[in-house]
Amino acid sequence: MKRILIVDDDVTLRTALARYLQNRGYGVQEARSGLEALSMFEADPVDVVVSDVMMPEMDGLEFCRRLRATRSGQLVPFIFLSSRKELEHRVEGHQTGADDYLVKPFELKELIAKIESQLERSRRVHSEIVRLMQQAPPLPIAASPLPLPSSQPLPLTPAEEKVFWEVIQGFTNKQIGDRLFVSPRTVQTHLSNILSKLGVENRLQLIRYAFEHGYYPPDSEAAMHDSE
């Protein structure tokens, strides 16, 4: 059963969403603010986060930023629900780290479609990473960087780190550019810097590096066992 964390200070909407999702076979957790949601996620990560933007204590934008700064929250699908419909607000949501943005009021069927789309994308990403890992040759010992504990930050700039996480999910330079609102040329510049700093030569070795040093999607280990 896939589990969804709903974050909204509107108890009526939150309860209605929870009931709707539970009736369609999802497990649901509920939080009233970004602060509460962050604590819940760190204790028990879910498969998808659906969050309001305007909330007390910690709003959705700050919640998303902090979630993306954690290892387990780097790649979890994140969907914003918001009454803020202006273009700059939607752009801000994506730049903060959200995968999708749905404007209130919305149709519940559309939310389900977005959730299922994100879950399917995650499944494809995990399967592709496992496939690449299985076909990748071992890194030469001389070129292998020293092992890093998974809790140690990557030796990258914030912009490079964003590109790193996009690359290991299997996105192309154009897709990354669209998601991060930069040009493909800028993405390639960051990628070249990443490869140089981490001592690898290409995307395939970068994905292998991510796995060997503990930087990988939360479900990837289970996916590897399933493929054996």
Does the structural domain 3-106 have CATH classification 3.40.50.150?
A: no
Residues 53, 80: Cα–Cα separation, whole Å: 7
Distance of CA 54 to the CA centre of its chain: 21
Residue 166 confidence (pLDDT)? 84
Which amino acid makes up residue 89? Answer: H
Return d(Cα 48, Cα 6) in angstroms, integer. Answer: 9
Q: What is the DSSP letter of 105?
A: S
* SS3 category, 28: strand
Sequence letter at residue 114: K
Q: What is the architecture, at CATH level 2, of domain 124-227?
A: Orthogonal Bundle (1.10)
The string of pLDDT tens digits covering residues 105-121 is: 889 999 999 999 989 88
Q: What is the mean pLDDT of each run of 10 residues along the chain (228 residues)?
A: 94 94 95 94 91 92 90 86 85 88 91 92 74 56 40 80 84 83 88 91 80 62 40
* pLDDT value for 89: 86
Please report the pLDDT score of residue 130 as a whole number.
65
Element (H, E) at 6: strand 3-7
Strands 27-31 and 100-103: unpaired
The domain ranges of the chain are 3-106, 124-227
Cα–Cα nearest to 168, from 203, 194, 200: 203
- pLDDT for the residue 83: 86
Please enumerate in sequence order all residues whose Cβ is within 8 A of that of 227, keeping only pairs 6 or more positions apart, or say none. Answer: 127, 130, 134
Beta strands at 48-52 and 78-82: parallel, antiparallel or unpaired:
parallel
CA atoms within 13 A on the CB side of 81: 24
Q: What confidence score (pLDDT) does residue 110 get? A: 94
Residue 5, strand partner residues: 29, 49
> Which residues on adjacent β-strands are paired with residue 81?
52, 102
pLDDT at 59: 93
Provide the pLDDT for residue 148. Answer: 41
30 DSSP β-pair partners? 6
CA dihedral (43, 44, 48, 53) positive or negative = negative
